[in-house]
Structure formats: structure tokens, C-alpha cells
């Protein structure tokens, strides 16, 4: 394994962790907007506010985003340490990120490039 590929592994790992925290920040941001909107509807005193469907839709959207964020963080840390399961998880995340145009597509393509070129097990510390 060349040092060049080790550098690519570090870049992928750090990028995964940053993306995970970014997705968590998005989750908090959307949650705060939802709370603000709900508070405004309740203060307006409208009788026909359907909070249960709104909250259900919010949870249905929030859970996959939270799982996606946590998966990014855990995979980034494990891939940097050289865990075997992290390669499989990174393949899944790289393919899923291809649909996030334009930055996710660039990251997904780069991650696939690194995965194809680092087939043997790599142990990286730090």
C-alpha cells in the first residue's frame, strides 16, 4: 500500500465524519424550524391544526436522516482504523451519496475510486 492511498483513506475518513456532523446539524436545524412552526400554529389558536400527522411526517423524515448521519460518523472512524465492516458500509454510503448532486456525487465517485484501489486490508493509525 502506497502512502498516497493512505492519504486518500484519511481524506475519505475525515470527509465521512464531517458529512455525518453536517447531516446532524441539518437534522437539528429542521427540528428547530418544525418546533417554531408548530408553536406559531398553536399560538394562532386555529382549531383545525393537525399536529399528529405533521409530527408523524417529521419523525418519518428525521429518523432516516439521523441514521444516515450516524452511519457516516461510525463508518469514517472505523474506515480510518481499518475495520473490515467499514469497507462494506462505505460501499453502501458511496452509492447512496451518488444521488446527492453535486457534492455527494463527487464524494461518492471518489470513495468508489479509493475502495477499488485499496482492495487489501489497510491498518492506519491516526
Specify whether the CB–CB gap between 52 and 111 falls below 8 A. Answer: no
Nearest CA among 68, 67, 38 for reference residue 52: 38
Is residue 37 in a domain? yes
pLDDT level of residue 1 (50, 70, 90 thresholds): low
Is residue 123 in a domain? no
pLDDT at residue number 75: 97
Is residue 63 in a domain? yes
Cell of 101: 448532486
Who's near 112: CB < 8 A, 6+ residues apart? 91, 94, 95
Digit-coded pLDDT (tens) for 61-107: 889 999 999 999 999 999 999 888 999 999 999 999 999 888 889 99
Cell of 32: 428547530
Q: How many domains does the chain have?
A: 1
Domain span including residue 61? 3-117
Is residue 124 in a domain? no
Digit-coded pLDDT (tens) for 9-30: 999 999 999 999 999 999 999 8
Amino acid at each position: 500500500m502506497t502512502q498516497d492511498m493512505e492519504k486518500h483513506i484519511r481524506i475519505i475518513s475525515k470527509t465521512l465524519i464531517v458529512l455525518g456532523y453536517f447531516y446532524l446539524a441539518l437534522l437539528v436545524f429542521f427540528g428547530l424550524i418544525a418546533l417554531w412552526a408548530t408553536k406559531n400554529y398553536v399560538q394562532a389558536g386555529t382549531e383545525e391544526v393537525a399536529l399528529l400527522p405533521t409530527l408523524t411526517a417529521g419523525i418519518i423524515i428525521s429518523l432516516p436522516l439521523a441514521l444516515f448521519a450516524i452511519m457516516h460518523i461510525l463508518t469514517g472512524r472505523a474506515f480510518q482504523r481499518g475495520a473490515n465492516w467499514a469497507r462494506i458500509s462505505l460501499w453502501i454510503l458511496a452509492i447512496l451519496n451518488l444521488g446527492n448532486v453535486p457534492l455527494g456525487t463527487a464524494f461518492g465517485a471518489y470513495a468508489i475510486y479509493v475502495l477499488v484501489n485499496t482492495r487489501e486490508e489497510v491498518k492506519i493509525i491516526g
